[in-house]
Amino acid sequence: MQRMLAMMLATIALAACSSPPAPTAADAKPAAAGTSALAGTPIEAYGSALARAKSVQAIVDRQAAEQRKAIDQPSPSH
């Protein structure tokens, strides 16, 4: 019984130490251009909120540039 247990433990230990299988061509294909960089990550659910925040930041940046341009223009003299 002890010999059988020892052989089973040795087999399990050797199986756990084996290297992972080599990646195949199907595994190595690149992600499609439309996929999110967050896909498969824990924060994937927040991707739409992140995209919305980036679009709002772009609007704020554009409005700030327009305001700077309006400030820098010389005012008409009386």
Please give the structure tokens belonging to residue 70: 């309006």
| Domain boundaries, given as residue ranges, for the chain | 45-70
**Does residue 37 carry a pLDDT above 80?**
no
CA angle 26, 20, 38 (to 5 degrees): 55
**Does residue 18 carry a pLDDT above 70?**
no
**Using 50, 70 and 90 to split pLDDT, how confident is the model at 75?**
confident
Print burial letters for 17-37: b (CB count within 10 Å at least 16), e (below 16).
Answer: eeeeeeeeeeeeeeeeeeeee
pTM, two decimal places = 0.42
